[in-house]
């Protein structure tokens, strides 16, 4: 592998990890709201969360560009007031990947929260636990396999995200050129086949490792919860 390829792999891992970890707390909160909440506009929230799954990735990327670009209102505010720049940076790639993976993450977590027996939660309440503590000590541990599954799905999606990323932050080597972007670049130049093939193998290996890792983790948690 060439240094250029290693850079792309490292960058992809950084982007996907950041995207997953940053969206996890938000994902758990939204999933809980959708699973347990009763409020006006719940259907709207559900639709919004799922939007990136249905929209063409290019459209999502373009929407990000006109929202978080340097000249766009939100992007300008973040850059000037907080010093956070997304446009054409790896952070922008992480944002795009996080948003694309978000629906998958929320779906998995929501399903696992819905599967938690609410009667256990009310029992915890009668024992003196505040609702926040009920969530932390009962709901969250019991839906942990689902949370892990959601995080892995999000990570896998982030590793492979291409359309929204390239539209939003372009394809800058060392900054926003992730694994899929580099494979795409290789396919556009003569003699790039070997590089594209190497990266394809790396991509497959990383995805399978993530899946296996999540299976093992979920199994260990499952065993710990059920075993005597």
Partner 1 sequence: MSLEVDVDHARGSFRLTARFTAAPGLTALFGRSGSGKTTLVDIVGGLVRPDRGRIVVDGQVLVDTATGLFVPRHRRHIGYVFQDSRLFPHFNVRRNLLYGRWFGRDAVGGAKADLDSVVELLGIGALLDRRPASLSGGEKQRVAIGRALLSWPRLLLMDEPLASLDEARRAEILPYIERLRDQMGVPILYVSHSVAEVARLATTVVLLGDGTVTAIGAVGDVLSLADPADVGSVLDATVARHDEAFQLSVLATLAGELQVPRLRAAAGTAVRAYIRARDVMLSLQPPEEVSALNVLPGRIVEITAGASGAQADVRLDCHGAILVARITAKSVQRLALAPGRQVFAVIKSVSFERT
Q: What is the closest distance, in whole angstroms, from the C-beta atom of residue 28 to partner 1 in the complex?
A: 17
Nearer to partner 1, 122 or 187 (CB): 122
> Rule CB under 8 A: which residues touch partner 1?
117, 119-120, 122-131, 133-134, 137-138, 141-142, 224-228
Residues near 224 by Cβ (< 8 Å), separated by ≥ 6?
none
DSSP assignment, residue 128? T
Helix H segments across the chain?
A: 3-36, 42-54, 57-68, 73-77, 90-114, 118-126, 131-134, 140-142, 144-160, 163-169, 179-188, 193-226
Q: What is the closest distance, in whole angstroms, from the C-beta atom of residue 21 to partner 1 in the complex?
A: 24
DSSP assignment, residue 191? T
The values of phi and psi at residue 85, to 5°, are -115, 130
Q: Which of 164, 49, 38 is nearest to 108 (CA)?
A: 49
Q: What is the closest distance, in whole angstroms, from the C-beta atom of residue 145 to partner 1 in the complex?
A: 11
Residues near 37 by Cβ (< 8 Å), separated by ≥ 6?
none
Nearer to partner 1, 21 or 129 (CB): 129
Nearer to partner 1, 219 or 225 (CB): 225
Q: What is the closest distance, in whole angstroms, from the C-beta atom of residue 152 to partner 1 in the complex?
A: 21
Q: What is the closest distance, in whole angstroms, from the C-beta atom of residue 36 to partner 1 in the complex?
A: 15
Residue 43: count of CB within 10 angstroms of its CB: 9
Nearer to partner 1, 82 or 228 (CB): 228
The values of phi and psi at residue 157, to 5°, are -60, -40
* Distance separating alpha carbons of residues 125 and 119, to the nearest angstrom: 10
Nearer to partner 1, 30 or 134 (CB): 134
Q: What is the closest distance, in whole angstroms, from the C-beta atom of residue 129 to partner 1 in the complex?
A: 6
Nearer to partner 1, 187 or 225 (CB): 225
């Amino acid at each position: 592998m060439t240094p250029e390829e290693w850079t792309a792999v490292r960058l992809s891992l950084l982007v996907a990890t950041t995207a997953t970890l940053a969206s996890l707390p938000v994902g758990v909160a939204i999933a809980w709201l959708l699973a347990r909440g009763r409020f006006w506009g719940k259907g709207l929230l559900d639709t919004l969360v799922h939007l990136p799954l249905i929209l063409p990735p290019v459209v999502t990327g373009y929407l990000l560009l006109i929202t978080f670009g340097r000249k766009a209102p939100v992007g300008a505010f973040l850059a000037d007031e907080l010093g956070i720049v997304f446009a054409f940076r790896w952070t922008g790639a992480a944002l795009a990947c996080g948003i694309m993976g978000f629906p998958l993450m929320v779906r998995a977590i929501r399903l696992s929260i819905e599967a938690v027996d609410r009667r256990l939660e009310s029992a915890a309440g009668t024992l003196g636990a505040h609702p926040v503590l009920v969530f932390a000590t009962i709901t969250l541990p019991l839906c942990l396999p689902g949370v892990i599954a959601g995080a892995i799905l999000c990570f896998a999606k982030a590793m492979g995200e291409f359309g929204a990323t390239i539209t939003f932050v372009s394809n800058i080597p060392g900054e926003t050129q992730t694994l899929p972007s580099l494979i795409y670049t290789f396919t556009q130049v003569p003699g790039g086949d070997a590089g594209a093939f190497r990266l394809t193998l790396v991509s497959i290996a990383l995805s399978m490792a993530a899946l296996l890792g999540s299976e093992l983790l979920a199994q260990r948690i499952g065993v710990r919860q059920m075993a005597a």
